[in-house]
Amino acid sequence: MTDNGRLFELLMALFDDPAELQRFLVLHDLVDVRTSALTMSGYARAVANELLRRELVDAELFDSLIQRTPMRAADINRVARFYADARTARPGPRETDQVPDDLVGFADELRQALKSVVSPDEDTRALDAAHFPWTSAAAVLGSFWPTTLRPTTDAAGSALTSLADLVQTNPDGTWTLKHGVRTACLRRLAAEQLFDRALRANDELPDEKRDTLRRLLTQLPPEQLTALDTGTLTSYSAVIKWLEPLGIAQGTIRTAVFATLDRRRLLDPLRALVGADFCGRDTEEIALEDHVVGRSPASIMVVQGPGGAGKSSLLGSVLLRLEEHVEFEPISFAYLDFDRSRNDPRDPVGLLGQIARQLRLLYATYEEDARTFAAHESAAFGTDAVAASTILDVDLAREPDLARMLSMLTQRLAEVHDLHGEPGTPPLVLVLDTFEEVQIRGPGALHDLLDLVDRLFDRLPGMKVVVSGRGAKSAFPDRAGLEVIELGDLEPASAEDVLDELGVSDPQVRSMVVTKFGANPLTLHLAAEAIARIGMSEEVFDGVTTRAEALTEIALEQVQGMLYGRILGHIGDPEVVRVAHPGLAVRKVTVGVLREVLAEPCGLDPDRAEIIFDKLRFEVGMFDREDADTLRHREDVRRLMLRTMLDEPTRAAAVAQIHRRAIAYYGSRRGIDARAEELYHHLMSDEDPRRLDDLWHADLKPLLASTLGEPLPSSARTWLGRRLGLADPSERTEWGQQDWEAEAADRARSWLASERPDQALAVLGERTERLPGSPLYPIEVAARLAVGDIISAARLLEAGIVSATGQDRRRVQIELAEQAIAVHGVQDDDAGVVRAARWGATLADLLGDEARGVDLLAAALETLQRGGSPEQALEVGGLLTDRFTRLSKAELLSRHDLVLRVLHAAGSTDTDVLRHVALEVGEKTDGGVFRPDSFAVEQLLSQTTASAAPALAELARDVGLPRAGWEIADLASTAVTSGYTGKAVALGLDYASDAQEARDLVVDNLVRPMGTAPEGHRP
């Protein structure tokens, strides 16, 4: 095992993600390793390397780890002993054995002979007279071509012959000096004061890392870091790491560079949107900048407009200026994008933790501020309680409390503003992006978020908020202190400036584009892209202008669609073009969709589906990659082509056929994603949408929200808008009962999810009538239970079951089954819980939704485990195991939350559940179901019977260990790092000397806790 191996394994066992480990490092004033885009394993290895290199792997480190995680003290102490023993065993200078007098001459001759035949190591050769002129020249360069490198002094040979075995070859063919060789050379350059000579040797060659090194060595004031692009900052980071062994450029500059790069992970998507071509929004940009620096009276500024109007670009331009202020006039700011799953509007404590994390990075060069914000972050996420309590001088042993968190964080923000802020600037700028994701989740989520915002306003006078979304203004009716920026078309002169920045250099062409097609930002980008691809504006616009002039009221989308059609027409591959037109009628493309949906109407060979799909991966102008097996048509242009296709009679039949085939294709598949696509194609087919209520579920809202931006039939638009909660609430009294019930169900569910059952009941009380099989029955049962009205809940449950069964409304019935489990559980009716569980599982089978049945059975088992009969818990556990072990690997991977729920509910009593997960998805390390904890795996394997020996030997062969000489610790370590955690777990369970002890060990130490699903974008 390498020197850093045991420490790396310990960090992997104790920390769940890079941010958590980084907080620990900051709280205890240890190394400042930036997270970059590293996985947890990559970050843990980098931290282990740094701690060892700086000789910080000592008793103080291990004491801090024990303080943080006392239940793992045995493992931590074991690793501590490993490194203590290694230090003790480190060999000192060896005493040379006395050579007899008569052999002294022979011994000298032997030493000289050995020197001539034993090759010196790389570092030694790099510093000898023949090599150092070349290695010293290369040591100050990031990379170089061997044919152009010049030595620092006259030298024989060439770079090709002198450096061939001392370098690594880069993908572009250039060479880079090996890390150890570079370090040795830099040490000698520093010791002999030869840096200047090495830096001048190849001055004529462009090399950003050399220029950065020169700047750091001469101690020139660093450039404004926030103004540098990410590539230049990365060069600073690399050179600072070169200089670490020399102790040069390590203090404030190192911290600032690493923190700036970490912030880039958050802001780089916006930076890319702003780009060099952002212009034309001068008035709006000035208004927004005045707002965030405190020059406007408004407390909230809303930026709204349709997709493609430039909201994110405008937001990014101002946020990037705020970042640039950090180094000389810092303004505290935090950016929460609700398209990211980690930003849950219903979790105010979690949002405060995200704000604290960004503030920690913002003030990274201020040690006390950084540690304090790290403590706030830890308090929010429930980690490092002892260290955070000491720093904040409060007791954080209990669960995070919102009021206390708010009080502590806002007090610190006010202090930081007094220390670093300019008079009149806000103590905090809070930016809430993709706000439509909050609105889609209903009034409960909106209330929770705005309640947090209002609490922050109460405690931070002068705070400024920016809200960006497609229809964000509607969330603030009659709000005082509100200013709205509506983004529409650009002014003609600004539109021409945009085209100029996009590479349309001919003024006449720019003027013609704006005159003929308008000044919508997306139209301008499409026109510029068409010109760039085709090269001649006459060919691009021939026919488009003619048709535009012939129509009296041509729709903007039609013009944009025609421009995109010109782009598609110049794709050389006819199969790709057919997928785009009319294949754009589908939102997603997979091999299955190509074969079963698109092949016939698009004139494609179904047997070539896999080949065509591989070609589509490279069409980045047409597709966004959703996952390894799914491409999604670009939304920004897809809706434009749909409008154009609808206006072409020759395409109508093909488009209709695609919709019919897609309905059949997705209708035969399971899962919420398939239901979303099936419902989408029903809506686009202009069917009577009232027939679609059985397909509707609240989980479909985020998957179908963007559909309102497409040319839906009017009846479908009305139906969907009401179910998304985006219809005008003043019109509700005029709605039919079916539409009202669907919309009321979503509103009531939203309030229940926000733990406001009183508000849910108020919504349900707007009307007393209920349709047969109404979806409101199970929701009202849940609300009655939540307020403690068990009698009413039971009565409503019975009425709902009668109504839904009479109408054969299976989706409503399964929701009633879920509520029946809860009602019978509160009534201590164990037999009723089992009956409800069996009924619900049968309904799930009839609906073809096995995962839903598993979830329902897990809920029943949890209910019985809280005090029910062990026999009945065993019965439900058997039903759960039977269905869960039938779930495929794909279903397990897509339902991380469900897998964790089942493992925590049934894993301690059922080996089959644990074994199924271990063998199907146990190989995934970063973000998987199992923690990469080699210590727990070692303990599990150590508790197997003697009959496990052949299986252990087979596992050792699989992970590449030698046939003999390995220990169980070696096997566990290698299995975890090689992606064999699942197989090791299954082996430990199969041969456990005590099955119950083995199951408890796996569930308690290896299964991740609930609520740790992989972070990413919302669907």
The whole-angstrom separation of Cα 123 and Cα 188 is 11
Total Cβ atoms within 10 A of residue 762: 14
Mean pLDDT, residues 985-998 taken together:
96
For the stretch 882-890, contacts whose Cβ atoms lie closer than 8 Å and that sit 24 or more positions apart, written own/partner, are 883/841, 883/850, 883/853, 883/854, 883/857, 884/854, 884/913, 884/916, 885/912, 885/913, 885/916, 886/850, 887/850, 887/851, 887/854, 887/916, 888/920, 889/920, 889/921
pLDDT at 556: 45
**Which tokens go with 216?**
């750091």
pLDDT band, residue 238 (cuts 50/70/90): confident
Nearest of 211, 165, 162 to residue 152 by alpha carbon: 162
Instruction: Give yes or no for residue 723 having a pLDDT over 90.
Output: no
pLDDT (tens digit per residue) in 526-571: 677 767 765 544 444 554 444 443 333 334 444 445 545 545 554 5
Grouping H, G, I as helix, E, B as strand and the rest as coil, residue 383 is coil
**Mean pLDDT in the chain?**
84
Tell me the C-alpha to C-alpha distance, in Å, between residue 161 and each of 3, 535, 905.
33, 47, 65
Pair type for strands 630-633 and 464-469? unpaired
The whole-angstrom separation of Cα 10 and Cα 138 is 37
pLDDT at 217: 87
Tokens 């009723």 belong to which residue? 832
Q: Is there a contact between 590 and 566 (Cβ–Cβ < 8 Å)?
A: no
Grouping H, G, I as helix, E, B as strand and the rest as coil, residue 85 is helix
pLDDT at 46: 84
pLDDT at 240: 87
Mean pLDDT, residues 821-848 taken together:
94
pLDDT (tens digit per residue) in 341-398: 889 999 999 999 999 988 988 887 777 888 898 889 888 888 888 888 888 878 776 6
pLDDT (tens digit per residue) in 133-187: 999 999 999 999 999 999 999 888 889 888 988 999 988 889 999 988 999 999 9
% of the chain beyond a pLDDT of 90: 44
More confident residue, 784 or 563: 784
pLDDT band, residue 472 (cuts 50/70/90): confident
Q: Is there a contact between 126 and 166 (Cβ–Cβ < 8 Å)?
A: yes
Q: Is there a contact between 707 and 680 (Cβ–Cβ < 8 Å)?
A: yes
Grouping H, G, I as helix, E, B as strand and the rest as coil, residue 399 is coil
Handedness of CA 583, 588, 593, 597 (dihedral sign): negative
For residue 379, what are the contacts with CB-CB under 8 A and spacing of at least 6? 353, 385, 388, 392, 396, 400, 405, 408
Instruction: Give yes or no for residue 288 having a pLDDT over 70.
Output: yes
Amino acid, res. 358: Q
Q: Is there a contact between 301 and 473 (Cβ–Cβ < 8 Å)?
A: no
Q: Is there a contact between 886 and 892 (Cβ–Cβ < 8 Å)?
A: no
Tokens 């400024």 belong to which residue? 464
pLDDT at 553: 36
Helix residue ranges per DSSP H, 118-194:
122-126, 132-139, 159-163, 179-191
The whole-angstrom separation of Cα 333 and Cα 346 is 21
Q: Is there a contact between 328 and 382 (Cβ–Cβ < 8 Å)?
A: no
For residue 1009, say if its preceding peptide bond is cis, omega within 30 degrees of 0.
no
pLDDT band, residue 269 (cuts 50/70/90): low
The whole-angstrom separation of Cα 258 and Cα 35 is 8
The whole-angstrom separation of Cα 746 and Cα 758 is 15
Nearest of 575, 606, 607, 586 to residue 710 by alpha carbon: 586
pLDDT at 557: 46
Residues 280-484, CATH architecture: 3-Layer(aba) Sandwich (3.40)
**Which tokens go with 532?**
């760039």
The whole-angstrom separation of Cα 536 and Cα 539 is 6
More confident residue, 799 or 640: 799
pLDDT (tens digit per residue) in 2-38: 567 889 999 999 998 888 898 898 888 887 676 555 6
The whole-angstrom separation of Cα 946 and Cα 948 is 5
pLDDT (tens digit per residue) in 667-681: 988 888 899 999 999
Mean pLDDT, residues 60-73 taken together:
92
Handedness of CA 501, 503, 509, 512 (dihedral sign): negative
The whole-angstrom separation of Cα 601 and Cα 598 is 6
Supply the pTM of this predicted model: 0.79
Instruction: Give yes or no for residue 311 having a pLDDT over 90.
Output: no
Helices and strands (DSSP H and E) totals, the chain: 53, 10
Handedness of CA 50, 54, 55, 60 (dihedral sign): negative
pLDDT (tens digit per residue) in 592-649: 999 999 999 988 999 999 998 888 887 766 778 888 788 888 776 676 567 666 666 6
Q: Is there a contact between 657 and 588 (Cβ–Cβ < 8 Å)?
A: no
Instruction: Give yes or no for residue 1017 having a pLDDT over 60.
Output: no
* N-terminal to C-terminal alpha carbon distance within the chain: 42
Q: Domain boundaries in the chain?
A: 1-86, 120-242, 280-484, 490-565
The whole-angstrom separation of Cα 859 and Cα 862 is 5
Grouping H, G, I as helix, E, B as strand and the rest as coil, residue 371 is helix
Tokens 């019965």 belong to which residue? 875
pLDDT band, residue 266 (cuts 50/70/90): low
Instruction: Give yes or no for residue 93 having a pLDDT over 80.
Output: no
